[in-house]
Structure 1
């Protein structure tokens, strides 16, 4: 009996111990909830929650449900919460139900939400901004409720992968623009609420969805209501629908078949239907004739000629002026690299058409034996990429002519992976040519050029330098970009002569925000994420209006054994070697660039006293000291800056350059903070273009 009691106690003890171990919440979940708690302004309403540490699963935090050590549900509906939701929600990978509805939460919806959520309800709050694009990757999402907020902007084309979505509520916001075409992919959608917004255009994109309930009241929709939608629970009042009979839909569509069948069942409208069909056939015949005519014209040699300046007028990007080129790329980059729909690709050109046309007035060299010729390169690219290539093939002979046979006088910069040259053509066109070292492709690594070209050519963002073309002939591998005469941010801050006017405060903020948006795109829109790994002011180029263009994105594939001082002053404390570089390390480097803009100092300056040589180490302790901040600011500004804006700018820097990586915010949060700075400081980001050349126009 005694032994039995001992055994029973042991079982009880180990059972309790095992239970306590199981209930210990996973550390990423704890950290995410800690940040959420700290971001809310009235967290005392939540029982058990803490701003640091704790055990949400074991201690039964209010609104938290767990499975084992993972948080699976967060239900904080109608808790009187204010403030924001925090920025680490992407760590909550096991959360399937996320409900913060009926509170008073404000600000933008965080870019990253629990990535595997099935049910998200953020309705009846005071959220502003747009619908976060990261929703496009939430393939398990079935219910999304964002109604009764203050959301604005247009909907991005983000719904292509949401085939499981059953209910979507965007009602009672200020969303505008046409409905995105990716709505067609919502093959499970049963209920859609869009009422009381500012949507415009037709709703034809909804015609073939399996909807049972649709409310589009009180918008600015136009056109006709598709017949397919007239037999469901439909609310359409308060729009500008077209009167009269709808025109026939294109032949073969479900809408057309439905309409035709309906009219044939109505004897009174049969003759009218025949007449409409005859008119439609006539119109289609005329369209066919015009298409054939245009096709014949398009095939003529003269139609292939594209004026070089016109070809590039929509491109305001150029990567060059960097003294050193980046090293490494995200190790998980794969052929599945994806991108969001470009904002404006009306000027995009098919790669095959460019290769066949003399659009850039370049002559092909005489035939010669090539180890890796142009056609082979193009074929490799076509096997990896979509057909919509926006770059042109350049011949080696013409690049040699335009660069003076790559003469030293045309050299713009030299780094660890190659040299950059200025190419000038007879018509005045100037380009920048990045000539990659041949040693990079030894040992059977020739395919790396097509891989890296494929990656870089998919990057499309207003603040990222885009490719113009490529050349791969006779063992030479080159990438061609446009050329910016304004050079880099490094040149403006550290190499301006006595006759140059400094960058104004407004321009510095604008450069910061544009660069942050570029990094947000690389980190949080590209899939998989891209780490630049060489963020510094010399890789931030400035266009004619001094808008930033982040250069040298995507070169990290070429990992080199370089010294640790390659990025002296920019590297985060944890970056003792290139392989240690992460997204959070990049946030630190961006914070150092912000410090350059604030102080006008170099990130590392050996001419300074030892305690001041490293800009981040010297400046960080002083960022919250108002008096010290005033002494740190760039003297070139001559005191022309709003003090409150300067202080907020310093607060953002302090977040970015924290020594512990996990405490640094993601770039989406940095972007949001900068946007709020602009809004609160009343900085006019559009009218201020070019004002850095005219201090007398400065508006403080």
Structure 2
């Protein structure tokens, strides 16, 4: 091999080495830029949001024994609730919407609304698990958790008031506030309850409050029966009226007054009676006489002031439910833990 050949050979080796070096750098850059794979992608995926199932009316009919009156567990302004056994063998609650409301909302998109409402999943909200629709029929299937409503405890059961002592009433108030806060702010799209009252607050065996009948105001937007006294005056206005977050806050204030006084709403009379007593700090006249006034009355007085703020202002001046929930959560921690 000549000297010229040696030089050419060495030059080729150098060029080859440089090329390999550059190629290595390029590969490193490509690898670094590549998004790293998770070790177990399935474990890190967020669960799909639950969406209500569609049931055949024949299945609903079988589950309720032909809507047997003996299976009725509740009646309200929107419909009748039956205890039923689902095809999978689970105990569920079936709400059969009143026929007159079905006819007036025939083309309103019932299924799509119920599917949206069923996305609500929270410890203080009763889940919607299914629906059924047919000519003249609209059915909502909900979780059945062995509950009775707050209205029954406070106003119908002779022993109910004593079961709900001040600590439990405060815990119920805080739970309801968290449920409304979730509906208003914790889910997209936000949900306005529209008919917040004691009969739509269920209590389980552990006295945990859960909201039902949320988002159903479209079925009876202007029907006064069952709503007067639970919504503000603005609700009935021709312009800017109807259900909204502020009307929910008002309804919650009425619920707080019922918890404090043990009295029914009485179509708005409770608010007009209670507000002057709160303002004058005449709490011995205000509080439920069936309960002993607690030794530390400050949390109860704070609850009364929150109730006053919720019902005593116009919509634009009311506190948001997040502000209310924050106060009541702190009170619950202070008193109940």
TM-score range, shorter chain: 0.7 to 0.9
Query: 1:468: how far off?
Result: 2.0
1:16-68 Cα deviation digits (max 9, x unpaired): xxxxxxxxxxxxxxxxxxxxxxxxxxxxxxxxxxxxxxxxxxxxxxxxxxxxx
Greater relative contact order structure (CA < 8 Å, 6+ sep): 2
1:261-660 to 2 correspondences below 5 Å: 388-424=49-85, 429-440=90-101, 442=103, 445-446=106-107, 448-473=109-134, 476-498=137-159, 501-563=162-224, 565-577=225-237, 579-604=241-266, 614-626=269-281, 628-640=282-294, 642-660=296-314
For 1:547 and 1:397, locate their aligned partners in 2 and report how far apart those are by CA, in whole Å.
34
Contact 2:51 2:116 in 1 (8 A): no
Contact 1:463 1:517 in 2 (8 A): yes
**RMSD across aligned positions (CA):** 3.3
Change in Cα spacing, 1:494 to 1:442, as seen in structure 2 (3 Å) is: closer
Change in Cα spacing, 1:402 to 1:581, as seen in structure 2 (3 Å) is: closer
Contact 1:493 1:502 in 2 (8 A): no
1:144-159 to 2 correspondences below 5 Å: none
Contact 2:154 2:161 in 1 (8 A): no
1:376-435 Cα deviation digits (max 9, x unpaired): xxxxxxxxxxx7434444343343233221122222333443322121479984321012
1:127-166 to 2 correspondences below 5 Å: none
Q: What residue number does 2:22 align with?
A: none
Change in Cα spacing, 1:577 to 1:499, as seen in structure 2 (3 Å) is: closer
Query: 1:445: how far off?
Result: 3.9
Change in Cα spacing, 1:447 to 1:618, as seen in structure 2 (3 Å) is: closer
Partner-residue secondary structure (3-state), 1:470: strand
Structure holding more helix per residue: 2
Change in Cα spacing, 1:523 to 1:429, as seen in structure 2 (3 Å) is: closer
For 1:469 and 1:460, locate their aligned partners in 2 and report how far apart those are by CA, in whole Å.
14
Query: 1:504: how far off?
Result: 1.5
1:453-498 Cα deviation digits (max 9, x unpaired): 2221121222111112223356533111122433101011111135
For 2:243 and 2:137, locate their aligned partners in 1 and report how far apart those are by CA, in whole Å.
30
1:66-125 Cα deviation digits (max 9, x unpaired): xxxxxxxxxxxxxxxxxxxxxxxxxxxxxxxxxxxxxxxxxxxxxxxxxxxxxxxxxxxx
Partner-residue secondary structure (3-state), 1:497: coil
Aligned length: 301
Partner-residue secondary structure (3-state), 2:110: helix
Partner-residue secondary structure (3-state), 2:129: strand
Contact 1:433 1:478 in 2 (8 A): yes
Partner-residue secondary structure (3-state), 1:494: helix
Contact 2:176 2:210 in 1 (8 A): yes
Change in Cα spacing, 1:409 to 1:443, as seen in structure 2 (3 Å) is: closer
Change in Cα spacing, 1:577 to 1:538, as seen in structure 2 (3 Å) is: farther
Query: 1:589: how far off?
Result: 1.3
Partner-residue secondary structure (3-state), 2:163: coil
Partner-residue secondary structure (3-state), 1:567: coil
Query: 1:544: how far off?
Result: 2.1
Partner-residue secondary structure (3-state), 2:234: coil
Alignment gaps of 5+ in structure 2: 1-28
